Amino acid sequence: MNINEEINIIWLKRDLRLQDNEAIFNALKTNKRTLFLYVFEKSLLADPHYSERHWNFIKQSIKDLNEDLIEFNTKVLCVTSEVVTTCNQLLNYYKIDTVFSHQETGLLITYTRDKDFTRYCRNNSINWIENNNNGVLRGLLNRNDWFDKWDEYMYQTPFEYRLESQNFLSIDEIKKLERAFFVTDLETTKDKIFQKGGTKMAWKYANSFFETRHQNYMFHISKPALSRESSSRLSPYIAWGNISIRQVFQKALAYKNDSNKRHLGAFISRLRWQAHFIQKFEMEHTMEEASVNKGYHKLKKSVSKKYQIAWKEGQTGFPLVDASMRCLNETGYLNFRMRSMLVSFFTHILWQPWQDATHHLSQNFLDFEPGIHFPQMQMQAAETGINNIRIYNPTKNSIEHDADATFIKKWVPELAQLSTPFIHEPYLMTPLDQQFSNFELGTDYPKPIVDIKLTRKKASDILYKMRQDPEVLLENKRILNKHTISDRNKMLRNE
């Protein structure tokens, strides 16, 4: 190691890929050698939004990167620390010229960290270049022309470059560096339930979706069981950057034809909506903790730990709600409609504050993405003021989207022996029905924890009344001016 040598650092975060990565592209344009760095930040490891399943996915993604980087005699330096501390230690061995990374639309804790890192770089004469992330733009005051700029970015050629061994610190040099750090063990438990991280797995899912699985995309999108096969299942790979939105977007366009345009057109539209919500969070990050519409700050709800625990454990007495939660807890995946129903049930039927649901859901969503998570939480909780109030009826959704109760039988097996109508509504069983079925409601499966007709009406009455609140109406105008896309039809059209 030459302490006089100036090097660059590629600080990997939610961009765990080698292709179409602007940080790598820019680093390779310099004549300095580069070090790939991932910091398992202690502050994030302790943050209640994250869980072991996320860190395992990241570790698998880094191992996948290292498998490809070995060809170029380099690897990712993985340490458990904080980024400022890590760079400080690296300065004992090399001069750091530039740190390359992407702009992160993250939690408040990462925003604060970035401000600290900016000061650190300035004080140590280090350049920090942050690159655009999937077409999300920083510093916007409104959404005028946002779609056109995003669309232009998606149609641009992905960043192309060739990796060469001489561009990077060698494996031997990195091994020497590791002696000065608390190196992160990248081994993970053998678990067949969660999707595995890494670019290779991302393309495996992408290829199977575009080649065959997309054929039932729109038909099964709302079905809790069938959607597990017919949806792309790319969300965790997009969330952690194993694959870029642009790569997925262009792959979808390449496969789109007259016979599948309904399905792939809808899929492309959802890529746009994904970016739309992240852009919204980028422009108004306070929605991590409080309702974006300040008029709803006066809405007070009584917290019930009993209700919240039953919801988290899938023991509410409403079969589709419980099946959805148990499935999410176990596998890390749930289709969009069922996610929406869980939030709606928590905030409307149980009348609990949406903030109390954020940690449990973020910990269990393998594809946790802050820019999606918080805007969606508030939209489903009906606290934006500009979106429709959706109070999902779990029984109606159960009958419509899991008619034969396949999904419920799998995740609430204590109901599997019942006839299908009673699987959907076990609380309708008479004592004689229960005796014939050798089943006791309240013992074998919980009775409903609330009277849904009463709680649904209460939520509806309060929320519709609040929509007329002067402060809510005033905030509606502000939100629409700031976040509404200038030409909404462009977001809805199918390319």
Q: How many CA atoms lie within 13 A of 405 on its CB side?
A: 21
pLDDT above 90 covers a percentage of the chain that reads: 91
494 pLDDT tier (thresholds 50, 70, 90): very low
Q: Give me the sign of the Cα torsion angle 323, 324, 329, 330.
A: positive
How far apart CA 350 and CA 307 sit, in angstroms, is: 7
pLDDT at 485 over 70: no
| Residue environment code for 75-85, b if the CB has 16+ CB neighbours within 10 A, otherwise e | bbbbbebbbbe
Measured between alpha carbons, how far is residue 60 from residues 74, 186, 197 in Å? 17, 7, 5
Give the pLDDT mean for 23-39.
Answer: 97
Question: In this structure, which amino acid lies at residue 97?
Answer: D
How far apart CA 72 and CA 75 sit, in angstroms, is: 8
Whether 322 and 449 have beta carbons less than 8 Å apart is answered as no
Q: Give pLDDT, residue 1.
A: 60
Question: Where do the domains of the chain lie?
Answer: 6-159+168-178, 199-284, 294-483
Closest CA to 246 of 201, 286, 219, 206: 206
Least confident range of 53-67, 275-289, 304-318:
275-289
Q: Give pLDDT, residue 144.
A: 85
pLDDT at 192 over 90: no
Phi, psi at 80, each rounded to 5°: -105, 110
pLDDT at 256 over 50: yes
Closest CA to 138 of 99, 109, 101, 96: 101
Residues with Cβ within 8 Å of 71's Cβ and at least 6 positions away in sequence, in order, are: 163
Give the pLDDT mean for 423-446.
Answer: 97
| Residue 244 zone, left/alpha/beta (φ > 0; ψ -120 to 50; rest) | beta
pLDDT at 190 over 80: no
How far apart CA 417 and CA 293 sit, in angstroms, is: 46
Give the pLDDT mean for 172-187.
Answer: 97
pLDDT at 491 over 60: no
Architecture of 6-159+168-178 per CATH? Answer: 3-Layer(aba) Sandwich (3.40)
487 pLDDT tier (thresholds 50, 70, 90): very low
Predicted structure pTM score: 0.95
Q: Give pLDDT, residue 310.
A: 98
pLDDT digit string, tens, across residues 100-148:
999 999 999 999 999 999 999 999 999 999 998 998 988 888 888 888 9
Residues with Cβ within 8 Å of 151's Cβ and at least 6 positions away in sequence, in order, are: 490
pLDDT digit string, tens, across residues 366-403:
999 999 999 999 999 999 999 899 999 999 999 999 99
pLDDT at 490 over 60: no
Q: Give pLDDT, residue 143.
A: 86
Q: Give pLDDT, residue 189.
A: 81
How far apart CA 94 and CA 81 sit, in angstroms, is: 18
pLDDT at 191 over 80: no
The topology (CATH level 3) of 199-284 is 1.25.40
pLDDT at 3 over 70: no
Q: Give pLDDT, residue 493.
A: 45
The topology (CATH level 3) of 294-483 is DNA Cyclobutane Dipyrimidine Photolyase, subunit A; domain 3 (1.10.579)
pLDDT at 49 over 50: yes
Give the pLDDT mean for 264-271.
Answer: 96
